[in-house]
Structure 1
Amino acid sequence: LDERSGMLHFPYFVDEEEENPGPQPLGQGLTEYVLRTGQSLLASPEVFADLEEKGEVVSIGPPSIDWLGVPLKIGGRVIGVLTVQSYTEGVRYTEEEKNVLTFIAEQVAMAIERKRATYALSQSEKQIRALIEAIPASIYFKDTEGRNIVINRAYEKLVGKERKDMIGKTDTEILPPTLAEECRKSDQKVLQTGKTYQGEEGLLHQNGEMTFFETTKSPILDENGDIVGLVGVSRDITERKKTEEALEESEERYRDLVEKAGIAILIDDRGGNFKYVNKRYAQLFGYSEEELESQSIHSVVHPDDIDMVLRYHNKRIQGKKAPSRYEFKGVKKDGTPIYLEVDAKAIKRGKRVVGTRSYIWDITARKMAEERLKASLLEKEVLLREIHHRVKNNLQIISSLLNLQSRYIQDEPSLDMFQESRQRVRSMALVHEKLYRSEDMARIDFCEYLKSLASHLFMSYGVNSASVELDVDVNGVYLDINTSIPCGLIVNELVSNSLKHAFSGREKGKIRIVLQPENKNKFKLVVSDDGVGLPRSLDVLNTDSLGLQLVTMLVEQLQGTLSIERNHGTSFEIVFQGAFK
Structure 2
Amino acid sequence: MSKKSEPDKIVTGSNFNGSFQEIEEKYKFIVNAYGEMMTLINREYVYELVNDSWCRTFGKSREDFIGKTVSEVWGDKKFNSEIKGKIDQCLNGIVFKEEDSFIIAGGERRYYAVTYCPFRDKNQEVTHAVGVTNDITERKEAEIALRKSEKDLRELNEKKDRYLSIINSDLDKAFIYVSSLLPEEIDTQEISIRWKIIPSARLGGDSLGYHWIDNEHLAVYMLDVTGHGVGAALHSVSALNMLKFETLVNTNFRKPHEVLNGLNQVFQMTEHQSLFITLWYMVYNKTK
Normalising by structure 2, what TM-score? Answer: 0.53
Q: In structure 2, what is the equivalent of residue 271 of structure 1? A: 44
Residues 401 and 330 from structure 1, CA distance in 2 versus in 1: closer, same or farther, beyond 3 angstroms? same
- Structure 2 residue identity aligned to 1:316: C
CA distance in 2, matches of 1:295, 1:332: 19
Residues 365 and 302 from structure 1, CA distance in 2 versus in 1: closer, same or farther, beyond 3 angstroms? farther
CA distance in 1, matches of 2:53, 2:90: 24
1:389 equivalent to 2:162? Answer: yes
8 Å CA contact 1:301–1:330 kept in 2: the answer is no
Q: Deviations over 1:14-41 (max 9, x none)?
A: xxxxxxxxxxxxxxxxxxxxxxxxxxxx
Q: In structure 1, what is the equivalent of residue 101 of structure 2? A: 329
Aligned to 1:254, what secondary structure does the other structure show? helix
CA distance in 1, matches of 2:9, 2:148: 69
CA distance in 2, matches of 1:305, 1:397: 61
- Structure 1 residue identity aligned to 2:164: V
Correspondence 1:149-228 to 2 at 5 A: none
Deviation at 1:329, TM superposition (A): 2.8
Q: Pick from 338, 348, 358 the counterpart of residue 120 of structure 2.
A: 348
Q: Deviations over 1:36-73 (max 9, x none)?
A: xxxxxxxxxxxxxxxxxxxxxxxxxxxxxxxxxxxxxx
- Structure 2 residue identity aligned to 1:312: K
Residues 251 and 314 from structure 1, CA distance in 2 versus in 1: closer, same or farther, beyond 3 angstroms? same
Q: In structure 2, what is the equivalent of residue 317 of structure 1? A: 91
Residues 292 and 269 from structure 1, CA distance in 2 versus in 1: closer, same or farther, beyond 3 angstroms? same
Residues 340 and 296 from structure 1, CA distance in 2 versus in 1: closer, same or farther, beyond 3 angstroms? farther
Gaps of 5+ in 2: 1-5, 186-193, 203-288
Residues 355 and 273 from structure 1, CA distance in 2 versus in 1: closer, same or farther, beyond 3 angstroms? same
Q: In structure 2, what is the equivalent of residue 414 of structure 1? A: 196
Gaps of 5+ in 1: 1-206, 212-237, 426-581
Correspondence 1:419-568 to 2 at 5 A: none
- Structure 1 residue identity aligned to 2:86: Y
Aligned to 1:265, what secondary structure does the other structure show? strand
> Identity of paired residues, percent?
17
CA distance in 2, matches of 1:378, 1:301: 37
Residues 380 and 249 from structure 1, CA distance in 2 versus in 1: closer, same or farther, beyond 3 angstroms? same
Report which structure shows greater RCO (CA 8 Å, sep ≥6): 2
Larger radius of gyration: 1
Q: Pick from 16, 30, 35 the counterpart of residue 262 of structure 1.
A: 35
Q: Pick from 332, 355, 359 the counterpart of residue 132 of structure 2.
A: 359
8 Å CA contact 1:302–1:337 kept in 2: the answer is no
- Structure 1 residue identity aligned to 2:36: I
My pick for the range that moved more, 252-261 or 287-296, is: 252-261
- Structure 1 residue identity aligned to 2:53: R
Aligned to 1:339, what secondary structure does the other structure show? strand
Q: Deviations over 1:293-346 (max 9, x none)?
A: 133333248967862432121122123x4x532112334467764432212210
Aligned to 1:287, what secondary structure does the other structure show? coil
- Structure 1 residue identity aligned to 2:119: I
CA distance in 2, matches of 1:373, 1:271: 42
Q: In structure 2, what is the equivalent of residue 288 of structure 1? A: 61
8 Å CA contact 2:70–2:79 kept in 1: the answer is no
Q: Deviations over 1:405-441 (max 9, x none)?
A: 22233358625x34xx5xx78xxxxxxxxxxxxxxxx
CA distance in 2, matches of 1:272, 1:262: 24
CA distance in 2, matches of 1:266, 1:382: 44
CA distance in 2, matches of 1:210, 1:381: 77
Aligned to 1:414, what secondary structure does the other structure show? coil
Aligned to 2:129, what secondary structure does the other structure show? strand
Q: RMSD of aligned C-alpha atoms?
A: 3.4
Normalising by structure 1, what TM-score? Answer: 0.28
Correspondence 1:34-45 to 2 at 5 A: none
- Structure 1 residue identity aligned to 2:166: N
Count the aligned residue pairs. 185
Q: In structure 2, what is the equivalent of residue 307 of structure 1? A: 81
Q: In structure 2, what is the equivalent of residue 249 of structure 1? A: 22
Residues 406 and 239 from structure 1, CA distance in 2 versus in 1: closer, same or farther, beyond 3 angstroms? farther
